[in-house]
Each structure stands twice: as C-alpha cells, then as structure tokens.
Amino acid sequence: MLRAKRGDRAAFTLLVEKYQQPIVSLVRRTLRDPDEAEDIAQNVFLQAFKSAGRYRPTARFATWLYTIARNLCLNELRRRARHPADPLDSAAPGDTGRPEVQNPDPHALLAPQALLRRELDAAIELALAGLPEIQRSALLLLRDRQLPYEDIAQILDTTVPATKSLIHRARETLKQQLKPYLRSGDWPRPIRLPDSTNPQL
C-alpha cells in the first residue's frame, strides 16, 4: 500500500487483484444487486486510491478497505431508503430467493449432490440476506481469516464484545432459518462426532 500511496499503479493493481473477491462478496451480499454491487466495489478501490494519502500504515490495509466498502454500502442503502421506488432494487436477485452463486468446482460433486448443495447455498444466501446489516457484515467479515476481532469491531464501529454478540446472534438466526437442512441427513457434516447422542442431526 505504501508503494501504491506513492502512485505506483502496478502495486495498486496487485492490491485490487488481491482484495477484489472479498470486497465484491461483501458488497454484493450487502446490496444484493450484482451490477450495482460491482460498481460500488469498483468505487471502493477508486476511493482507496484517491485517499491513499490519508492511509496510515498503523491500520491494516484490509481493515481500511473494508471500512470504505461498508461506508459506501451504507450510503447506498440510505439512498435506497430515500428512493424506495428505484427500479434497480426490483432487479435484486435476492428478492427471487435464488441468488446466483459461483460453484468453485461443479465437477467435484455428483449431480444430485450438486443440486442439493446449490439449494443449500441458496438457502444460506437467503438467510444471510434476512439478517440485519450489522450482523451480516460481522459474519461476512469473520470469514476473512486474516481479520482479527479488533479490526472487525473497528470496521463495524463497535467494541469487540459487541462484535462477538453480533456474531452469536447472527449464527443463532442462521441456525433457526436453516433448521430444516440441519435436521436432514442429506447434508454434509463438519465433524464426525462418535457416539452421537443426537442421531437426528
């Protein structure tokens, strides 16, 4: 980032390539409009480049970038709230309940499993979309393994205990929303706990 701050375009290109996916994911899951999300995500990087002079190396670049992304998303959500009749909103794929998702390796799963997985992913996306913005952001930021809780709290403009509480509430809501899938035996399990006293899972 320090090189990009000095106007090094090649260094900035590397940064964009590195962070494009997490930023697009966060923005798209927040706004639920693929086209608009991509525009906003591009603006995140443009704003980062323009305000590179204000960047201090004491803050992690990812934290700074996520903060810009969240602020732009909140601005867009506020704009939508002021103009609810905006036609862009009606085109949001989340409204259909079948968000477009990218399967990383479609050939790795057999057809029925792939279908089940796609249905599950759609259900998870829908459950995520139903969360309050701050809970969803907390959960999505937590997926970035490099991001400590302190930084997530900073991005969300809150404290670490409050962030943990947000994550807890978000997970509980997701569990409620995904209960039918949790009870089904068709879904892959993360751990094989021996001597399970709850075979329903």
Cβ–Cβ < 8 Å for 51, 34 = no
Q: For residue 74, state whether it binds other proteins (rule: CB under 8 A).
A: no
Distance in Å, CB of 91 to other proteins, minimum: 15
CB within 8 Å of 176: residues ≥ 6 apart: none
Closest distance of CB 99 from other proteins, Å: 8
Q: What is the x/- site pattern for other proteins, positions 103-122, by CB under 8 A?
A: xx---------------xx-
For residues 155 and 92, give the distance between their C-alpha atoms in angstroms, rounded to a whole number. Answer: 25
Give whichever of 75 and 103 is closer to other proteins, judged by the CB atom: 103
String of b and e for 163-189 (b: at least 16 CB within 10 Å)? Answer: beebbebbeebbeebbeeeeeeeeeee
Question: Which stretches of the chain bind other proteins, using CB under 8 A?
Answer: 9, 12-13, 16-17, 20-22, 24-25, 28-29, 34, 37-38, 41-42, 45-46, 49-50, 99-104, 120-121, 124-125, 139, 142-145, 164, 167-168, 171, 174-175, 178, 182, 187-191, 193-194, 196-198, 200-201
